[in-house]
Chain A
């Protein structure tokens, strides 16, 4: 498995874990309030900081184990894979945001719109790394 594929697997793991933690908190707060929790900026910042720290730690470990390969620039095939994965994940984000907007049009729940948009951002990031793994394995 190449360094970039290992990195993609690591990012999928980090983002799913952090996303599960974030939405577990949001669901708990929503249940306690009896309505959709408002945007919790502190929790969003905590999520971002945790993702950044976990990425740095895990990527450092993977890079240390991968040696020279970790410092090599992206080659032509990898560039195509990264471009395609980024392109497809953009659709995931767009579908999620559009769904949130449609939901807002029906429910007028701005808090839910925030959570749907934030979830779409998380899912599109996970999808981007998922697409990278798929293309690394399947071919471009």
Chain B
């Protein structure tokens, strides 16, 4: 298993708070595939800075409200 990036996110939670937005709808909104959104939610992929901003803009929150640095995993 690849080492997980030390970045957590609340994408799934924010999707559910936004009228149960689907992974496909979020993927289309930010210009990636649904599999990439799934990988982000599962912590298997850290998005680029551009995609991180796009996600936060879709949800109308700041980047740090979506992504967080997970202490203890960065060693």
Interface size class of B (residues with CB under 8 A): 10 to 19
Contact A77 B2 (CB under 8 A): no
B8, CB-defined interface residue at 8 Å: no
CB contact between B33 and one of A2, A138, A139, A140 (< 8 Å): that residue: A2
Cβ–Cβ < 8 Å partners of A77 in chain B: 32-33, 35-36, 39, 45, 47
Q: How far is the CA of A139 from the CA of B42 in the complex (A)?
A: 10
B31 at interface (Cβ–Cβ under 8 A)? Answer: yes
State which residues 57-85 of A face B: CB under 8 Å. 69, 72, 75-78
Closest Cβ of chain B to A82, distance in Å, is: 13
Number of interface residues of A (CB under 8 A): 11
Shortest CB–CB separation between residue B73 and chain A, in angstroms?
14
B48 at the interface (CB under 8 A from A): yes
Check A76–B36 contact: CB distance below 8 A.
yes
Name the residue of chain B whose CB is nearest to the CB of A140: B45
Return the chain A residue nearest B42 by Cβ.
Answer: A139
Say which residue of B1, B31, B42, B44 sits within 8 Å of A75 (CB atoms).
Answer: B31
Q: Shortest CB–CB separation between residue A136 and chain B, in angstroms?
A: 7
Contact with B along A127-140 (1 / 0, CB 8 A): 00000000010111
With A77-B45, A138-B1, A140-B2: A72-B33 Cβ-Cβ less than 8 Å: yes
Which B residues from 35 to 57 make CB contacts under 8 A with A? 35-36, 39, 42, 44-45, 47-48, 51
Q: Which residues of A contact B34 (CB under 8 A)?
A: 2
The answer for the CA separation of A2 and B45 in the assembled complex, in Å, is 16
Q: Would you give 7 A-B contacts (Cβ < 8 Å), ordered by A?
A: A75-B33, A76-B48, A138-B2, A139-B1, A139-B42, A139-B44, A139-B45
Interface residues of A (CB under 8 A from B): 2, 69, 72, 75-78, 136, 138-140
